[in-house]
Every structure is written in structure tokens, then in C-alpha cells.
Amino acid sequence: MVIKIRTAFLLVLLACTGKVNAQIGFERILQEIDTNNLTLKALRQKLESERIAARIGLYPSNPQAEVIYQWGNPVDIGNRTTIGITQQFDFPTAYIYKAKLAKGMSTALEHEFRAKRAEILNNASLLCAELVYHNALVMELQRQQESAMVIANSLKQKYDAGVAGILPYTQAELVYQELNSRISQAILQRKILSDELTALNGSVQVHISDTAILLPELPPNFETYFSAIELQNPELAYLKSEVENSHTKLQLVKSEKLPSFTVGYASEKLVGERFQGIVVGMSIPLWEKINTISHARANERFVQLLTHEYLINYRLGSERLFNKAVALRELIDQLTESIDRLNIVDKLNLALDKGEISIIDYYTELNNYNSIKERLLEVQYEYLKTYIELHRFTSF
């Protein structure tokens, strides 16, 4: 009963993690890249080729046929004709392990392809996230620029009317130009990211206009997250397949140390005489297979240690990312609360218009407020990147 409950719980977790793309908003784009990416097309073809190659050598060696025709000397003793057909077989268990190893290699190749596919699509997800961040940054900077332009126009009118000096108006113009420069830089970076994403999509243009950085929820704790995520890691699945394959290889090598057999038919024809019958032979691998078992056993141990090391590092790395995501989410909530509480733009504009504060004080306070808003975008982007890394094997 406990096993059934645990299984059902994991199935629910897997279903939830399968919705990651929808949560971060990149599902359609990643589906296009999965179809159009040239590297993935080549890897799929390579996978098919290697699957076929894994089944090479599963069958016995080719039969041998031999015909010997000999002339007699002197002529009166006649000629001799010898015919032989033989087939060599390994010990029967060798073919069982060869077939098992071929199947295991195909499984490992599939996991290896899934890992490479996940890497490409994860890179695409990160590019999408960075594009959305730059869209949001451009929108925020344009908002600041519009506000700066209003202030600059107001100060210019006061300057033209002789109410204000040239210095406040000049400072407002400098702020406006600085924002304009930052917007141009962000737009340029956005174009570079879009080109990289287009290249991943097989040169098919990709357009992302989203400006809202989505913040998907994390599982309640790390153990809940990791118990589901571990099952979907193709790199770990590949290593586990290699552990099984190395054990099968050891069994195959042991079976190849057993004798191989030769059976066949032989016929010899002389003048007035004919002999025919069966051929049975046995080959004992005394020297050819020396050290093969030791090598296979050492390789099995190596793959086991490699898998154990990967699992430890993967868990520790995932835990670091999970804790980072939790901390970032808390920081997002704090920054959001500060922005809601310190929404002082209208108050600053009114105070400046009434002459209650200087232009220097105005921009000092405004820059502090805008810095918090930009910082919020940065932290949201960092959180989304971390979330994507946490689900790099479960998003596709």
C-alpha cells in the first residue's frame, strides 16, 4: 500500500514538472526549436545510425566452404576432390549476452540523445528568459525616459520664462540622454539575443514580445523537488544504463572464455572411392582472451564510481540552485513590497513643481526609486534563470 501511494505521488510530481514550459511561457518556441534545430536533426540521424551499429555482430560468423581439386601423378592413380563446409559457433550464452548488450546500448544511446537535446533546449530557454528581461528593461527605461522628458520640458519652460536657471534644465537633458543611451544598448543586446535564438531555430525567425517575467512556484521543499527531478535526468539514466551495460559486458567476456565449436560436412572423392561425413571441432581460448575479464571488471567498477560521483554532485548542485531560488523569491517579495510602499514619483514631481526640493534632490530620490525597480527586474530574471536550470531535464 505504501509503495502504491509513493508511486502515485511521484506520478503527480512528474505531471507537474511536465508543465514547466507552460509556466515560463516558452512552450511554443521550444517546440519549434525542437523541430527546426539543425544539431538536433543531425543527432537524431546519428542516434538511428548508432542503434543499427549496436546490432552488428549479434549473429555467428559466416560459414566456410572449401573445394580442393588435386591432379594425380602418375596419371593412372586418378584425381582427388575434397569438399568441406563448416560453421563456427560461440558458446550459446555469448549470443544471449550480445543481444542483451545491444539492447542496453540502444537504451544508453537514447538517454545520451535526450541529454544533448535537453542541453540545447535549456540554452534556448535561457535565451528566451534573457530576451523577456531585456524587453521588460527597455519598457522600464522608456517609462523613465518619458518622465525625464516631462521634467526637462517643464524646466525648459521655466528657463525660457526666466523662472529657473540653465543648470537644472541642463541636468534634466543629461538624464534624458543617458536613458536614451541605455535604451539603445538594451535594444542592441536584445537584437543579438534574438539572432542567437533564430540560429538555434534553424535560421527560422523567432519573435518574443513578452515583457512580463513569469515567476513559477517552487515545490514546497528540496526533497519533494529532487524525488521527482531525479527520475527525469537523462544524464543519470545514461550512466545507470552504462552500469548495466558494463555488467553485461563482463558476463559476455566470461562467456567468450568458454570454448567455441565448429560443425560441418566434409567429402573426399578418389578414383573408385568416396568418403564423406561430419566435421566437429572445438577451439579453447587459452591465450587470445587473457586479461579480458580483468579489464571488463575494472571498467564496470569505473562506471559505478563515475555514476556515484555524478549523483552526489548532481544532488549537491541541485540543492544549491534550489536554495538560491528560494532566497531570490524572498528578495523579490521584499523588493515588490518596497516599490509598492515607496511609490513616490508623483510626490517628487509635485514637490519639484512647487519648488519644495532642488533638482539635485529630485534626481537623487528618483534614481534611488528607479534603481529599486531595475533591481527587481534583475532579481526576477535571475530567479527565472535559476528555475530553468533546476528544471533543465524536465521542461521538454
pLDDT (tens digit, 9 = 90+) per residue, 252-307?
A: 999 988 899 999 999 988 877 888 899 999 888 888 788 889 999 999 999 999 99
Across the range 86-107, mean pLDDT stands at: 93
pLDDT of residue 271: 77
pLDDT value, residue 167: 77
Sign of CA dihedral 89, 95, 98, 99: positive
State how far the Cα of 349 lies from the Cα of 357, in Å rounded to an integer: 10
Mean pLDDT in residue range 227-241:
93
Residue 164 has a pLDDT of 65
Q: What is the mean pLDDT of the chain?
A: 87
**pLDDT for the residue numbered 73:** 79
- Sheet strands (E) in the chain: 64-70, 80-89, 260-270, 273-283
Checking if the pLDDT of 6 tops 80, the result is no
Which residue, 53, 110, 394, 101, is CA-closest to 243?
Answer: 101
Confidence of residue 395 (pLDDT cuts 50, 70, 90): low
CA dist., res. 228 & res. 13, Å (int) = 6
Residue 39 pLDDT level (bands cut at 50, 70, 90): very high
Task: Specify the length of the chain in residues.
Answer: 396
pTM of the model: 0.84
Q: What is the distance between the terminal CA atoms of the chain, rounded to a whole angstrom?
A: 32
| Predicted confidence (pLDDT) per residue in 137-156, tens digit | 999 999 988 888 877 787 77
pLDDT of residue 149: 85
Q: How confident is the model at residue 23 (pLDDT cuts 50, 70, 90)?
A: low
Tell me, what amino acid is at 86?
T
pLDDT digits (tens, 9 = 90+) for 329-380: 999 999 998 888 877 777 777 787 777 777 777 777 888 888 889 999 999 9
Angle at 184 between CA 182 and CA 189, to 5 degrees: 95
Residue 24: band (very low, low, confident or very high) from pLDDT cuts 50, 70, 90: low
Cβ count within 10 A of residue 133: 23
CA 156 – CA 392 distance, rounded (Å)? 53
Say which CATH class 2-390 falls into.
mainly alpha
